[in-house]
Structure 1
Amino acid sequence: MSAPAATKPSFLRDLFTGNINEALLLPYPAPLSERDPDEARTVQRLVDALNDMVTSGLIDPQRFDEQEFIDEAVIQAFAECGLLAISIPKAYGGLGLSASAYARVFGAVAAIDASLGVLIGVHCGLGSKAVVIAGNEAQKQRYLPMLARGETLAAYALTEPETGSDAQHIVSRTERSPDGTGWILNGRKHWIGNGQRAGVIATFAQTPIERDGKIVHRPTAFIIRPDMPGFRVDGTIHKLGIRGSTQAELVYENLFVPDDHVLGEVGKGFRVAVNALNGGRLSLASGCVQGSKRLLGEFTRYAEARTQFGGPLANFEITQRKMATIASETYAAESMVGALAAAMDGDVVDVALEAACAKVYASDLVWRTADELVQLAGGRGFVKPWPYERYLRDTRINRIFEGANEILRLFVGLNGIQGPAEELKEIAGALRNPFQNWVLVSGFAADRVKTALGKRDRFEASWHNVFRKHVTYVEKHAAELAKATQEAITKHRKEILNRQLVVERLADMAIELYARTSTLARTQRLIDERGADACTREIALTELFCLQSGRRFRGFLTELEGNTGDTIDDLRRSVAAQVRADGGYASPDVLLDVVIPPLRTWSLVRDEQAASTQPPLPKR
């Protein structure tokens, strides 16, 4: 059994204290083909099967997008080749892939079609995974083999109209059944991938438990099935992108869930939700990286083929700048994914912050890449039948999936500021969920962090000469992150939790450092294996990324130093307050003020439910 996350080290968490714990990242892990050749061959077999489906026309992303569902024949083919069994242990009929192998397969699927990526991610990475990590032996024996064979799909029903994916504050409720043999569940879930097709659904609801002599409500995870009385699919929804994947509205009306379908412990559902999402952030980051690779290939082909002003677009320096930036940032994002996946395989590191960083960076990257491709393609980028507009639509969801990037930045920053000091234990749990226990967290005192700062501030590893200046800057910037963290705590004290713009800057600095260090470590390994002369491409990618990353880091730091950031943030709050008071933009029009009818006003819940009018697809 692995150690609890709280007792495991974290490279990112240590960086906030100025401690460069290089043993957690160096040497950079070898590729899967060296670490586990048999598993690498399994991955290759799955990818080959996937490619055959593309060649035969079975997989057609344009068709999925237009019809807004994935054909049953595709799901059946996935089941037959094992793509629905990749996260399920071999003991239950699955392939039992490691985190690295799973991420690579998921990346291949998502790069071909984002909607297929959602189907795999929900079935393998969330629904089935919840049973794997929290189910008892009877539950695993009952459900995992059928999920591995693809007899039915799995879903993961957490998100609700009122609270989104905030697992602690979901409003679905349960009460004990009159006969004491189970739970009566009432609630509504929305945007549930595979929800209208799934035969096994991991869901969450508040349950009454006794705590310190009082009855309180805490989330509990359950396994439910669509054949349970009281379960209803209330339609599916139309979306901007990933249209081939189907998201359903689920309704629970006095749904009886027997005790043997409680997933994990009663009142401990939050742990189930968090553990499933951490793995999902790795796979999502991998999908975004592989998507960026594919989009850069499309970008390059179009730039070479499209002639303007006497030559191909690829000859223009602005086009080359975009190519180079996308390539270097994709290399960096992939470096983070490789380091994160190997750390998850080893299971001796707390990777919650690293997973959040990789997800944030990679999802922002794939969106920028798709946007640049649309810009390059001009009019063709905006219209059908060219696929570029679909690429843009499909990539947008990644910045929302598995935790919105804004929330994950706060997650990274708030966890980073707590430091490794033992005396911070009483607030560690609250900081890991920054939007609960506000009063407790706001009691955080700066003097508790000072003792945690100033540890190992230099790399001990050997670096190639070409990287020494970049390594020196990483060391310098790690010290500056620690100093900025301490100063932010000292300055804001009880208000640090409310100063989201400050916490966001600290998180962005940490993300840049993790990306830069992972990239340097990756290329150093290649140099050690092949020699520098054989790595000129990777060295150039690394140098370009380090230079640009360093400048971004300096920009964030500048806003934290002195009064620069305070001035900017004060103005932002002031302007935002005026916008709120005005209900939008209210300055006089520069040309002529005219009356324009307001847009239709939407409520957050009722209109969404009314809009869910698309009938559910046939269940498998």
Structure 2
Amino acid sequence: MSASPPVAHAKPSFLRGLFQGEITEALLFPYPATLDERRPDEAATVHRLIAALNAMVASGLIDPRQMDENETLGEPVIKAFAEAGLLGLTTPQEYGGLGLSASAYARVFGAVASVDASLGVLIGVHCGLGGKALVLFGNDEQKARYLPALARGEMLAAYALTEPETGSDAQHIVTTARRNAENTGWLLNGRKHWIGNGQRAGMIATFAQTPIVRNGETIMRPTAFIVRPDMPGFRIDGTVAKLGIRASTQAELVFEDCFVPDDHVLGEVGKGFRVAVNALNAGRLSLASGCASGCKRLLAEFARYAEARTQFGGPLASFEITQRKMATIAADTYAVDAMVGALAAALDEDSVDASLEAACAKVFASELVWRTADELVQLAGGRGFVKPWPYERYLRDARINRIFEGANEILRLFIGLNGIQGPAEELKELSGALKNPIQNWVLVSSYAAERVASALGKKDRFDVTFHPSLRKHAEFVEKHVAALAAATQKMIVTHKKEILHRQLVVERLADMAIELYARATTIARTQRLIGERGADACAREIALTDLFCIESGRRFRAIRMELDGDAGEAIDDLRRDIAARIRAEHGYGTSDALMDVAVPPLPAWSLTKAEQQAAVERRTP
């Protein structure tokens, strides 16, 4: 008999196991084959779609520079996408779409987004969020009514979750819906902002708080709805100007007693959070794929520019600092590519809970593409900062990825707090048993035996025969899995329920898990490639794996050290103290090292659009 299982999840998760010191290798090894091998017919469709995309670029129909300048995607581009099938990627074949798997969709999305980020937004919102929510949760009548039109491009889909008051906090949206007087539907009231495709969408998946009765008490819970722009009480309150992805359209939507009939409820009343989460999980895979593809293109441009630009008697590519940057970007890109491949195949099988893995891939990929674009701007120097060179646009377009599909700070908390659920439940069971240790001796001794086994390295070992070039990296993963589990248990015991509010602790645990998932998938992919091609033919991949695993291991150890002893707590106390002073002083209160002078303060901005506009008008001459 062993300690009771952790919080039950319908499907296994590789990442959840890591927090408990368990390596569920069957979920990752052997690394999945490519789509060409697994689904050759579907792979042929992917090749056709990307060929059509490339033809649009070659013909000049897609001109990223001009689209950025004009801040719009022309109707001819949308029409061409529809004719090529690019607007029906996730729509099932019975409704006129292509019904691509998660892997195929991620690959097509990656290609589209690497050509132009705004095109990626168009596809991601239409196919991956709004359309996907309908595919996953729509009833037969709703699907028959809307999906064929979406696949043909006769209407675009949008996904309206974000509000002025709430961003990533889907549970606490403030838009409400109440029953109408005739009891035939719902009246929605609220605002949604920054809604991709919102200005031109014909079908909008949106969310509002609705009253439901639970245990005899009326409470408010989110419900998903399908809204059309012709519904009474719906209006568009303009679009927004943006730092990047300027060719895509983000609109402000307003519901003022907007009537939505009962047959336009998406899923079940009071269960809209489930709709939101499932749509976002799929979106996080595609976003990570887009970032990975973007990194490959940016690295190619980095290498081209570094060879062409001569300084101090040689090309920039001959300098060691430039080489360090190229190598690091390449190794990290190889790792994120491995994460995307493993995650996509897992979602294809639909036999695992990959929500934490999707969050890991999104966080890692979005931060990598930002660093890569930033390094390209740095390499290009003055050309990197000005037009008509494209480098500043690459940087502007890359920035949104750390906010899209859940801000990375929120996703780190999502990873960490979900990861500790299992260990917390296990420790809770043990705590109860210790109140009567004689009666529960079997439980206690079994738990102790498991702890000893873990300490000896028997519980958290791979049962895989690794190629010699990978064996040492795999051993470090084993050690670090045990270290993550130990740190997780220690933090739970130390902080107990207060850990829910110790975000710096949870963030560190999440970062440790992200590094482990990235390393494990990288090793798994290289292991497969060596098995297929032989080690000599994989010298490049082995080198990339070596560099990534070494640097990832160093990052992991640095994080772990902040959780050991009192060091992490001391620095967190210092941060909280400084932050409290900044809040009290409304900024940087220390005197200037040269001399204090009076400077005009920056304008104060409100979260309310009307107040922002009034402030702009007051300052306009």
Unpaired runs of at least 5, structure 1: 427-446, 614-620
Q: 1:7 is paired with a residue of what secondary structure?
A: coil
Q: Are residues 1:286 and 2:294 paired?
A: no
Q: 1:419 is paired with a residue of what secondary structure?
A: helix
Residue deviations 1:203-249 (CA, integer Å, cap 9, x gap): 11111111111211111101010011111000000000000001000
Find the partner of 2:509 among 501, 506, 509: 506
Q: Which amino acid aligns with 1:213?
A: G
Residue deviations 1:367-416 (CA, integer Å, cap 9, x gap): 00000000000000000000000000000000000010011011111111
Structure 1: distance between partners of 2:574 and 2:165: 31
Structure 1: distance between partners of 2:151 and 2:449: 50
Find the partner of 1:138 among 137, 141, 148: 141
Counterpart of 1:108 in structure 2 is 111
Counterpart of 1:496 in structure 2 is 499
Mark the CA change 1:575 to 1:451 in structure 2 (over 3 Å): closer, same or farther: farther
Find the partner of 2:533 among 523, 530, 541: 530
Q: Which amino acid aligns with 1:55?
A: A
Q: 1:322 is paired with a residue of what secondary structure?
A: helix
Alignment of 1:383-532 (within 5 A): 383-419=386-422, 454=454, 456-532=459-535
Residue deviations 1:548-590 (CA, integer Å, cap 9, x gap): 0000000001111111111111111111111111111111111
Counterpart of 2:601 in structure 1 is 598
With normalisation by structure 2, the TM-score equals 0.93
Structure 2: distance between partners of 1:580 and 1:609: 22
Find the partner of 1:313 among 316, 320, 323: 316
Mark the CA change 1:17 to 1:502 in structure 2 (over 3 Å): closer, same or farther: same
Q: Is the 8 A contact 1:158 1:189 kept in 2?
A: yes
Unpaired runs of at least 5, structure 2: 1-6, 430-444, 617-621
Q: 1:215 is paired with a residue of what secondary structure?
A: strand
Structure 2: distance between partners of 1:182 and 1:125: 27
Structure 2: distance between partners of 1:84 and 1:317: 45
Q: Is the 8 A contact 1:241 1:394 kept in 2?
A: yes
Q: Is the 8 A contact 1:21 1:456 kept in 2?
A: no
Q: Is the 8 A contact 2:288 2:361 kept in 1?
A: yes
Structure 2: distance between partners of 1:64 and 1:84: 19
Q: Is the 8 A contact 1:420 1:452 kept in 2?
A: no
Counterpart of 2:95 in structure 1 is 92
Q: Which amino acid aligns with 2:606?
A: S
Alignment of 1:11-410 (within 5 A): 11-410=14-413
Structure 2: distance between partners of 1:187 and 1:32: 43
Over the matched positions of the two proteins, sequence identity in percent amounts to: 74
| 1:421 CA displacement | 7.7
Residue deviations 1:513-534 (CA, integer Å, cap 9, x gap): 0000100000000000110000
Q: 1:178 is paired with a residue of what secondary structure?
A: coil
Structure 2: distance between partners of 1:254 and 1:479: 55
| 1:606 CA displacement | 3.3
Structure 1: distance between partners of 2:370 and 2:415: 21
Runs of 4+ in 1 over 2 A off after TM superposition: 420-426, 447-456, 606-613
Q: 1:599 is paired with a residue of what secondary structure?
A: coil
Mark the CA change 1:216 to 1:451 in structure 2 (over 3 Å): closer, same or farther: farther
Q: Is the 8 A contact 1:207 1:217 kept in 2?
A: yes
Q: Is the 8 A contact 1:146 1:152 kept in 2?
A: yes
| 1:456 CA displacement | 2.7
Structure 1: distance between partners of 2:132 and 2:614: 31
Counterpart of 1:437 in structure 2 is none
Tell which deviates more after alignment, 120-129 or 566-575. 566-575
Mark the CA change 1:487 to 1:205 in structure 2 (over 3 Å): closer, same or farther: same
Q: 2:421 is paired with a residue of what secondary structure?
A: coil
Q: Is the 8 A contact 2:424 2:489 kept in 1?
A: no
Q: Is the 8 A contact 2:306 2:315 kept in 1?
A: yes
Structure 2: distance between partners of 1:449 and 1:193: 51
| 1:93 CA displacement | 0.7
Mark the CA change 1:469 to 1:509 in structure 2 (over 3 Å): closer, same or farther: same
Mark the CA change 1:570 to 1:93 in structure 2 (over 3 Å): closer, same or farther: same
Q: 2:524 is paired with a residue of what secondary structure?
A: helix
Q: Is the 8 A contact 2:298 2:373 kept in 1?
A: yes
Mark the CA change 1:162 to 1:192 in structure 2 (over 3 Å): closer, same or farther: same
Structure 2: distance between partners of 1:611 and 1:362: 38
Q: 2:282 is paired with a residue of what secondary structure?
A: helix
Residue deviations 1:3-35 (CA, integer Å, cap 9, x gap): x99221110000001101100000000000000
Find the partner of 2:13 among 6, 10, 15: 10
Counterpart of 1:438 in structure 2 is none
Tell which deviates more after alignment, 595-604 or 415-424. 415-424
With normalisation by structure 1, the TM-score equals 0.93
| 1:612 CA displacement | 13
Structure 2: distance between partners of 1:102 and 1:452: 42
Alignment of 1:503-582 (within 5 A): 503-582=506-585
Structure 2: distance between partners of 1:112 and 1:221: 33
Residue deviations 1:300-334 (CA, integer Å, cap 9, x gap): 00000000000000000000000000000000000
Structure 2: distance between partners of 1:9 and 1:305: 50
| 1:423 CA displacement | 6.7
| 1:165 CA displacement | 3.5
Structure 1: distance between partners of 2:106 and 2:357: 15
Structure 2: distance between partners of 1:211 and 1:300: 60
